[in-house]
Amino acid sequence: MDDSSGKTMGNSSAKTMGNSSGKCMGNSSVKTMGDSSGRTMDDLEEVGKYFEQHGIANLEEFLKEKLERWKDVEIKFGITGDSGVGKSTFINAIRGLKVDDEGAAVTGVKETTRKATAYSHPKNDKIKFWDLPGIGTPNYPDLDTYSKKVSLERYDTFLILTAGRFTHNDLQLAKRVKEMKKSFFFVRTKIDQDVDNESDKNAFNEEATLNDIRGDCLKNLKRSSFGDVAVFLVSNRKTAKWDFARLQEAILDVLPLRQKQSLTLSLTSHSKNILKEKVKLLRDQIWMVAAASAVVGAVPFPGFSFAIDAILLTKEVNLYKSQLGLPEENSYEFRRMTPENQDKVHKFCMTSAIQTTSLVAAYTASSAVEETARYIPFLGSLIAGSISFSSTYYFLHDCLNELEETAMAFLDIKSTRVVDDYVNKVD
């Protein structure tokens, strides 16, 4: 891990130490999650060049392909730690799977000598979580053998898991990873069990318990000169609590921009920070969707003064809903939303081309053409100046804003429910 990622991890952890829910997890990672405007400029220039060379022909295809490109970025995670610490369960949790879901990693199996196994992310098979053997297992007498056998250099980021103290071998491994200038994270699992065990005591104080565990881990790491790193206290069973979401955010922070984008859009939103990050990425691509849609605008719809690619827009709005974790209409989760939020989701339920066009039509009167004018140098006045482009652009902006608000409210309900369930159990 390089210095900057170490600092990010250290800072964010210090601020949120002992907090017990996703709600209190601080804003630090939003700031450090990187600015994607550089990416937008790169994309704009690339599209501009294409437009210059090829004109409008095939621009729509080109943009659509670009919109899908995040799925092609590969990321490999090495998940290591002794048998039974919760590697397989963690992999399932970060993939958003329950242990009995199809394709979930098998958990609770005693294995001492085994090979590395890869699990793909369910939303993106380019993202792989490699369940690595713990370095202490008999097949790997020393670090060199281990590094060679599991091919350490193949992975982008490592997670070193323990359910107690980090072993000498864990720490050796972290040092090696650091030498390779790769990032790693120390993760202490099964926090729910620790809290449960302590909760029987009269003087139970969750924050004090967490501080004790964290303090103990840090002491353990300090002895091996890992003074300023963070330890993430997680429960793979209660991902809405403690540091699980913050760990996801910290992982995003250390990835290069493209990988970060890819992983962000593949993750389940366990926290508002991740949700915000998703919205930012989706917002950054609105101009591409609007341009692709406007290119189609050759044949206007009867009764409308503009033409759009309704299928593309419907797909984009559905992507917003699924990315932001909004439930399908009529699902059990949907019925648990407030009527106002249900209405907001329903408003953007576009089942026919004419319905989509009508929704977008409401934005044709928008006078804020100035904002979209900044795309003219790249997309040309033909597209960027068109009524189809600006209407679609503003329509998607508003749609994303409203869905974001709804998703935030929905996330609140969900995390309150998790905390309530937990409190009821502890009581």
Ligand X SMILES: Nc1nc2c(ncn2[C@@H]2O[C@H](COP(=O)(O)OP(=O)(O)O)[C@@H](O)[C@H]2O)c(=O)[nH]1
Closest distance between ligand X and the C-beta of residue 40, in Å?
A: 38
Neighbours of 143 (CB within 10 A): 15
Cβ-proximal residues to 301 (8 Å cutoff; 6+ apart), any chain: 307, 353, 354, 357
Among 6, 73, 87, 341, binds ligand X (CB under 6 A): 87
**Amino acid letter, 326:** L
In the complex, the smallest distance separating the C-beta of residue 101 from ligand X, rounded to whole angstroms, is 14
Q: Among residue numbers 171 through 230, which ones bind ligand X (CB under 6 A)?
A: 189-190, 192-193
Question: Can residue 85 be called a binding residue for ligand X (CB under 6 A)?
Answer: yes
Minimum CB distance to Mg ion, residue 88 (Å)? 3
Residue 107 or 318 with smaller CB distance to Mg ion: 107
Separation between Cα atoms, residue 355 and residue 404, nearest integer Å:
22
Cα distance between residue 81 and residue 64, in whole Å: 41
The least CB distance from residue 129 to Mg ion, in Å, is: 11
Q: Which is nearer to ligand X, 108 or 302 (CB)?
A: 108
Q: Say if CB 287 and CB 397 are below 8 A apart.
A: no
* Residue 236 binding target from Mg ion, ligand X, none, CB below 5 to 8 Å by type: ligand X
Q: Which is nearer to ligand X, 191 or 360 (CB)?
A: 191
Of 258, 282, 285, nearest to 375 by C-alpha is 285
Residue 107 as a binder of ligand X (CB under 6 A): the answer is yes
Which of Mg ion, ligand X, none is residue 189 near (CB under 5 to 8 Å by kind)?
ligand X
DSSP string, 59-84: HHHHHHHHHHGGGG--EEEEEE--TT
The full 3-state SS of 172-227, as one line of letters, equals HHHHHHHHCCCEEEEEECCHHHHHHHHCCCCCCCHHHHHHHHHHHHHHHHHCCCCC
> Is residue 98 at the binding interface for ligand X, with CB under 6 A as the rule?
no
Give dist(CA 37, CA 226) in Å, integer: 34
Q: How far is the CB of 131 from ligand X (least distance, A)?
A: 6
Binds ligand X by CB under 6 A, chosen from 23, 237, 258, 397? 237
Q: Which of 249, 251, 248, 282 is nearest to 265 (CA)?
A: 282
Helix or strand holding residue 129 (H, E): strand 124-131
Residues 337-376: x where in contact with ligand X by CB under 6 A, - otherwise, as a string: ----------------------------------------
- By CB under 6 A, residue 88 contacts ligand X: yes
Residue 229: both structure tokens together: 């790193």
Q: Does 236 bind Mg ion (CB under 5 A)?
A: no
Segment interacting with ligand X (CB under 6 A) among 85-93, 168-176, 282-290, 409-417:
85-93
CB of 391 vs ligand X, minimal distance in Å: 48
C-beta of 137 vs 224, nearer to ligand X: 137
Q: Is 5 in the site for ligand X (CB under 6 A)?
A: no
Please state the length of the chain: 427
Site string for Mg ion, 61-90 (x = CB under 5 A): --------------------------xx--
**The binder of ligand X chosen from 20, 89, 169, 314 (CB under 6 A):** 89
Q: Does residue 402 belong to the site contacting ligand X (CB under 6 A)?
A: no
Compute the radius of gyration of the chain from its Cα atoms: 24
Minimum separation from the CB atom of position 9 to ligand X (A): 20
Residue 249 CB, nearest approach to Mg ion (Å): 25
Spell out the residues 6+ positions from residue 114 whose beta carbon is closer than 8 angstroms to its own.
133, 137
Taking CB under 6 A as the rule, does residue 235 contact ligand X?
Answer: yes
CA separation for the pair 391, 372 (Å, rounded)? 10
Residue 131 beta carbon to Mg ion: minimum distance, rounded to whole angstroms: 6
Q: Contact residues for Mg ion (CB under 5 A)?
A: 87-88
